[in-house]
Structure 1
Amino acid sequence: MKWTSEDIDMYLKAKEYVDTIVLPLFPIALDERIKKTAEMTEFINLLSIQLERQFRGRLIMLPGFNYLKSINKEEVLTDLLKWEKEFLDKGFKHIVYLTSDSDWKLEEAKMTGSLIWLPTIPLGQMDQQYRNTILKDQLQQLITLFVQKWEKQE
């Protein structure tokens, strides 16, 4: 389910079946890394949209956690862990973070939720058909990861 009033109405009616919350992590840099962080955000955002469609009714896809690359990583992690605590307090069994920012791999052990890191594939210059094929392939890998995670917990 998306973070929309219509989907949240559906969530409220079927809350007991929605045990997973997904938070895309979107880096922002306004220096020489601007294009790279824009590519990361674009890639993870497109995958998030497809993932939400695939698992509609089983998970909530949040709009994303934007953070500045120029801010100390510990400060950003502290904020993210506050979000994580809120998710756990509200009864979500599975918290999944999606990112293309490899810096998060260094912080993964400090998180209760699962971090899925995917290398950025710059989609901007690709032919639409090739772009769709790549996204579909990446989505299939994500679907497998989610299903395995849910099966392991049941």
Structure 2
Amino acid sequence: MKWQATEMDTYLRAREYVDTAIITLIPISWEKEIKQTVAMGEFISIIATEVEKQFHGRVVQFPAFSYIKSEGKVPRIERIRNWENELKAGGVKHIIYLTSDSEWKSIESDLDGMLLWLPTIPLEHMEANYKQDVITDQIKQIMPIMTNKWQSK
């Protein structure tokens, strides 16, 4: 389910089946590597939308957790912990973070959820059918990771 009022009606009726939050980690930079930073966010947002489609009824795709690339790791972790506390208090059992920013790998152990890092694949110049194939291949890699996570708990 997506973070939309119409989808929340469905969530409220089937809340016991929805136990996973999908949160994209989207960097923002207006000084350095602008295009690369935008591409990271664009790519991971597309992936998150496709993951939500595959697991509709089990996951909620939350708004992106956006941060300035130059923001320190400590304040970033403090902010994300607020999200984690809110979600867990509301009954979310699993939090899955999706990102293309490799910086998150260095603080992965500070997260209460599972981090899935995917390198950015530049989609801007691809033909539509090839672009869809690339995205489908990425989703095929993510699906077993997520289902294993659910089965392990």
* Structure 1 residue ranges, 4+ long, deviating more than 2 angstroms after superposition: none
Amino acid at match of 2:81: L
Relative to the length of structure 2, the TM-score reads 0.97
Relative to the length of structure 1, the TM-score reads 0.96
Whether 1:107 and 2:107 are equivalent positions in the alignment is yes
Alignment of structure 1 residues 70-85 onto 2, 5 Å? 70-85=70-85
Q: Which residue in 2 is equivalent to 1:119?
A: 119
Q: Quote the sequence identity (%).
A: 42
Q: Which residue in 2 is equivalent to 1:4?
A: 4
Alignment of structure 1 residues 76-95 onto 2, 5 Å? 76-95=76-95
Question: What count of residue pairs does the alignment treat as equivalent?
Answer: 153
Whether 1:66 and 2:100 are equivalent positions in the alignment is no
Measured against aligned partners, the alpha-carbon deviations of 1:53-101 in whole angstroms (never above 9, x if no partner) come to 1111101001211111122121111101110111111111101100000
Measured against aligned partners, the alpha-carbon deviations of 1:17-62 in whole angstroms (never above 9, x if no partner) come to 1110111000011112111110100100111111111111101001
- Counterpart-to-counterpart distance in 1, 2:146 and 2:102: 20
Q: Which residue in 1 is equivalent to 2:131?
A: 131
Amino acid at match of 1:33: E
- Counterpart-to-counterpart distance in 1, 2:57 and 2:30: 37
Q: Which residue in 2 is equivalent to 1:144?
A: 144
- Counterpart-to-counterpart distance in 2, 1:86 and 1:2: 17
- SS of corresponding position for 1:26: strand
Q: Which residue in 2 is equivalent to 1:14?
A: 14
- Counterpart-to-counterpart distance in 1, 2:138 and 2:74: 30
Flag structure 1 segments of 5+ consecutive residues without an equivalent: none
- Counterpart-to-counterpart distance in 1, 2:36 and 2:73: 18
Amino acid at match of 2:119: P
Q: Which residue in 2 is equivalent to 1:29?
A: 29
Flag structure 2 segments of 5+ consecutive residues without an equivalent: none
**CA apart distance, 1:137:** 0.2
- Counterpart-to-counterpart distance in 2, 1:86 and 1:105: 23
- SS of corresponding position for 1:107: helix
- Counterpart-to-counterpart distance in 2, 1:78 and 1:30: 23
